[in-house]
Amino acid sequence: MSDIRSKTRTQFNKLQKRLRHNVGDAIADYHMIEDGDKVMVCLSGGKDSFTLLDILMNLQKTAPVRFEIIAVNLDQKQPGFPEHVLPEYLESIGVPYHIIERDTYSVVKRVIPEGATTCGLCSRLRRGILYGFAEEHGVTKIALGHHRDDLLETFFLNIFYGGKLKAMPPKLLSDDRKNIVIRPLAYCREKDIERFSAFKNFPIIPCNLCGSQENLQRKAMKQMLRGWDKQFPGRLETIFTSLQNVAPSQLADAKLFDFVGLQRSDGADDAPPPIRVEQPLVFDRAFAKARTAVILGTAE
Ligand code: SF4
């Protein structure tokens, strides 16, 4: 083997190992996949979902828990969508798969006025169809290909334009509490995914077939984050760590911390500070209950 080929192979192995570690850590930290799970990997045809499927299939071989994978693509009937690409690829790697065909493209075109952004309605329709499929097919986890940089972009979009301190969680209970969404790439850097995808030569399907432009605000966030990453290496890692390290008493949300009830102590009473935890507890209980119901197959 020539030096260049062996160097390239070493680089690829290192990259693959890092991505596997990132995904394995995220799965373990958030208990994303449990024994007996049926994981539906949503495949759009982009680099992120191809990488997700590849890494999960790889982990499936060595994971201490047994879980099933089903790859699902929603063909939204965008003009020029190359229908043969995904089935050919999925058959070549031997993964069970399903292609759902729904013409959401026409619905979006009919409902949204010319020139207005179509992504909001399009993604709502897509989400509804995928959630419905998951319920009908005994899926216990829906895996999406969002990565660390998507989470950070969403975080800053919410701060700059939404006035909210929120991002995109690695694990989520759907609003109707019938589905659990997981994002196993939550710790993966987009630049690693880009390189991995190029190495693997995935048959990428362009994402602009619908004619919609990439959301300009999100594009601006991506540029901002990439600029920071170049200028201040390590900054994005630090910001992501801060999402896992929240101090409600050092922010200003009176729903999360009982600022009103703060009392001076005369030293005689060592009572802990009044942290208001009603919201997280309610969420945790509902979450645990729904999760158990999904696992036991008793979810409504
Ligand atoms: S880019 Fe097109 S296909 Fe993607 S969410 Fe927006 S409207 Fe839908």
Residue 229, in any domain of the structure: no
Residue nearest to atom 1 of ligand 1 (CA): 212
Indicate whether this model's pTM tops 0.85.
yes
- Render pLDDT for 183-232 as a digit per residue (tens, 0 to 9): 999 999 999 999 999 999 999 998 777 777 667 889 999 999 999 999 99
Whether the predicted pLDDT of 236 surpasses 50: yes
Q: How far is the CA of 121 from the centre of ligand 1 (A)?
A: 9
- Render pLDDT for 50-94 as a digit per residue (tens, 0 to 9): 999 999 999 999 998 999 999 999 999 998 999 999 999 999 999
Show which of 170, 196, 217 is a domain's final residue.
217
Whether the predicted pLDDT of 177 surpasses 70: yes
Q: Which of 99, 117, 100 is nearest to 108 (CA)?
A: 117
Closest atom, ligand 1, to C-alpha of 122: 8
**C-beta 85 within 6 A of ligand 1:** no
For the chain, the domain total comes to: 2
User: Cα–Cα distance between 154 and 107 in angstroms, integer?
Assistant: 27
Give the pLDDT band of residue 107 (cuts 50, 70, 90). Answer: very high
Residue 161, in any domain of the structure: yes
Residue 61, in any domain of the structure: yes
* Same domain assignment for residues 127 and 253: no
Q: What is the span of the domain harbouring residue 284?
A: 246-300
Residue 19, in any domain of the structure: yes
Give the pLDDT band of residue 119 (cuts 50, 70, 90). Answer: confident
Contact 70, 139 (CB under 8 A): yes
* Same domain assignment for residues 43 and 96: yes
What is the overall mean pLDDT for the chain?
A: 89
The pLDDT > 70 percentage for the chain reads: 87
* Same domain assignment for residues 73 and 168: yes
Please give the C-alpha separations between residue 96 and each of 40, 72, 73, 91, in angstroms, as whole numbers: 10, 9, 12, 8
Contact 24, 56 (CB under 8 A): no
**C-beta 122 within 6 A of ligand 1:** yes
Contact 240, 217 (CB under 8 A): no
Q: Please enumerate in sequence order all residues whose Cβ is within 8 A of that of 70, keeping only pairs 6 or more positions apart, or say none.
A: 38, 39, 40, 41, 95, 96, 97, 98, 137, 139
* Same domain assignment for residues 169 and 71: yes
Specify the CATH number for the domain of residue 18: 3.40.50.620
Closest atom, ligand 1, to C-alpha of 118: 7
Show which of 217, 234, 262 is a domain's final residue.
217
**C-beta 119 within 6 A of ligand 1:** yes
Residue 227, in any domain of the structure: no
* Same domain assignment for residues 145 and 213: yes
* Same domain assignment for residues 175 and 60: yes
Greater confidence, 269 or 289? 269
Residue 225, in any domain of the structure: no
Residue 8, in any domain of the structure: yes
* Same domain assignment for residues 12 and 102: yes
pLDDT of residue 201: 97
* Same domain assignment for residues 271 and 153: no
